[in-house]
Chain A
Amino acid sequence: QGQAQQQAYDRGITIFSPDGRLYQVEYAREAVKRGTASIGVRTPEGVVLAADKRSRSPLMEPTSVEKIHKADDHIGIASAGHVADARQLIDFARRQSQVNRLRYGEPIGIETLTKEVTDHIQQYTQVGGARPFGVALLIGGVENGTPRLYETDPSGTPYEWKAVSIGADRGDHQEHLEENFRDDLTLDEGIELALEAIASTSDEGTAPDGVDVATVSAETERFVELSNDEIESYLEANDLLATEDDEQTEE
């Protein structure tokens, strides 16, 4: 009888283990690591979101792999982890953005939105009969002319970052960002830094349809997704482009 209880700390999300851990939440973080990387970089000129979405089959439409989402005109969200969970949270975020506009007649603040989302995530760590979200988000946008970048994790904790990576190879990417980030990056340099970080963990180089990049510039306060051609030129300029040969072996 005693045994069953002791081994079951990871069964219920509402139960703390004796050393104060919530195992299900930690397992949900593992789900985040199963997703490909998403990277956010904050520069004085705006926020950059980039995502690795290399496809597993040449027959799959690259656009159907959703890693970067527009939450509002001035907010983009990049996800890593369980896709279906991510979509639920994106919907929630979009709804909250609209609610804010209707209620207060102004665009929602990045911090406000992040905390709405994390409060929602947190409920799933404290209520029985549900499971935590197996996804982490990067919420980036511009608030009153200031770029902001937030991370949410399955526990529902919000963090603000200058540059951050979630998903697979987080450690390596984060290391790359820490070494190369400067406070005075331009938006272009921010995109380059994010792409370099993604490329740093792949041997073959990166194909333009294997990454998504979006920016929210401080000037326009508009979420913009880069086209494949634009991404290609960035990759080419930084010598990160995959050669045709490698692309084939990858498939």
Chain B
Amino acid sequence: MMTDTVDDVDLPYDKDSASQQEKITALQERLEVLETQNEEMRDKLLDTNAENNKYQQKLERLTHENKKLKQSPLFVATVQEITDEGVIIKQHGNNQEALTEVTDEMREELEPDARVAVNNSLSIVKRLDKETDVRARVMQVEHSPDVTYEDIGGLEEQMQEVRETVEMPLDRPEMFAEVGIDPPSGVLLYGPPGTGKTMLAKAVANQTNASFIKMAGSELVHKFIGEGAKLVRDLFEVARENEPAVIFIDEIDAIASKRTDSKTSGDAEVQRTMMQLLAEMDGFDERGNIRIIAATNRFDMLDPAILRPGRFDRLIEVPKPNEDGREIIFQIHTRKMNVSDDVDFVELAEMADNASGADIKAVCTEAGMFAIRDDRTEIFMQDFVDAWEKIQQEASDETEVSRAFA
């Protein structure tokens, strides 16, 4: 614009009457005005240019994204081998192997067994993180349960043993190093139902600083072959990442029952899951600083292989409580209850012969219910006696068969 010459300019003076001097002054004035105007315009132009750039970029980004969304998804594959001719990958799902070219940069990133994303033409787009099953991650316990060792009655010996195996190696590993033994790897708690096996594990979870991973044995049973085993592998992977860790497997008989000759494929898969567990517990790979606690009430059904030293070093029986134990358990369960002075725990413990911890809890709750039914808030001895009788009735109904025997 500046170089353009303009012919029909509106002159700021009268062409005929103005003197030469006047013409110069007028023109100079005019020039000054124009120059300032020009300056302003140039600033504006710069601003607009910048804004234009910005919009241009945004447009580019959106077009890119648009294109990406329209694109078909990438496939997941695993690197099998890195050779001079290229990289051999195996697609998940159809298990097809392919030889593909990669850039030198990409080649450095890759290693056999890495997970990668490939596009339609099977060239590697990017490397993916190692996968661990979300299901395994979910099992990590973040909020520790509010059960402490004080809440467990009558199992002093068992508690002691569990703490020795689980807590000692975590708290004082140097002791074991000095003595020169490997700390025991796991404990198996077994005993009749309702005797506090899971409670013990909860207390450990509450008390320990290690990350606590809990699961039920049945969670490891899956529909497809290899899935259960993979979950076990992932579980230990998660544990290794979060060392030190405690893994708790409840109802382990779901997967660790005796291997039989049964050819039903369902059983076979469950057994394969168990074998993976065996391998993880004491196999070729270093187990790391991981303790395992398992619980079952079908000890007789467990496979002998899982019981051998090196896997579960410690087999701890959690029996039904004795009379002293029952007394303590009564006291624990009535801690928060409004109990009258006439309640005699010693007598209750004597009365509740052969009761498990869970039975006692049921008696306490039932006694509370009796009080509520009577519109009382205080619980008397008689409530406990009535509750015990009620629970007894539910339990015993066996006499008919035994008439045939003497």
Contacts and interface: CB of A to CB of B under 8 A. Distances in A.
Contacts of A36: 405-406
Contact of B405 (A2, A3, A83): A83
Residue from B261, B264, B403, B404 whose CB has the most chain A CB atoms within 10 Å:
B404
B36 interface: no
A204 to B, nearest CB: 11
B263 interface: yes
B399 interface: yes
A82 to B, nearest CB: 6
B405 A81 contact: yes
Interface string B250-270: 000000000001111000000
B405 A31 contact: yes
A83 B263 contact: no
Contacts of A34: 402, 405
A65 interface: yes
A68 to B, nearest CB: 11
B404 A6 contact: no
A53 B263 contact: no
B259 to A, nearest CB: 13
Contact of B262 (A3, A18, A84): A3
A69 to B, nearest CB: 12
Interface residues of B, number: 10
Interface residues of A, number: 20
A160 interface: no
Contact of A56 (B261, B262, B264, B399): B399
Contact of A6 (B261, B402, B405, B406): B261
A53 B403 CA distance: 12
A156 interface: no
Contacts of A66: 406
A18 B261 contact: yes
Nearest to A31: B405
B404 A83 contact: yes
A30 B204 CA distance: 39
A67 B263 contact: no
Contacts of A83: 404-406
A188 to B, nearest CB: 27
A76 to B, nearest CB: 16
A34 B398 CA distance: 12
A155 to B, nearest CB: 19
A35 B406 contact: yes
B324 to A, nearest CB: 16
B112 to A, nearest CB: 41
Interface string A105-136: 00000000000000000000000000000000
Contacts of B264: 3
A7 B402 contact: no
Interface in A34-58: 34-36, 53, 56
A34 B405 CA distance: 6
Nearest to B403: A56
Contacts of A18: 261
B60 to A, nearest CB: 66
Residue from B264, B403, B404, B406 whose CB has the most chain A CB atoms within 10 Å:
B406
Contact of B263 (A2, A65, A81): A2
Given A3-B263, A18-B261, A67 B406 contact: yes
B262 A6 contact: yes
A222 to B, nearest CB: 25
Interface in B105-152: none
Interface in B257-308: 261-264
22 contacts: A2-B263, A3-B263, A3-B264, A6-B261, A6-B262, A7-B262, A34-B405, A35-B405, A35-B406, A36-B405, A36-B406, A53-B406, A56-B399, A65-B406, A67-B406, A79-B406, A81-B405, A82-B404, A83-B404, A83-B405, A83-B406, A84-B404
Closest 7 CB pairs of A and B: A34-B405, A35-B405, A83-B406, A35-B406, A65-B406, A6-B261, A3-B263
Given A80-B406, A83-B404, 17 more contacts: A2-B263, A3-B263, A3-B264, A6-B261, A34-B402, A34-B405, A35-B406, A36-B406, A53-B406, A56-B403, A65-B406, A66-B406, A81-B405, A82-B405, A83-B405, A83-B406, A84-B404
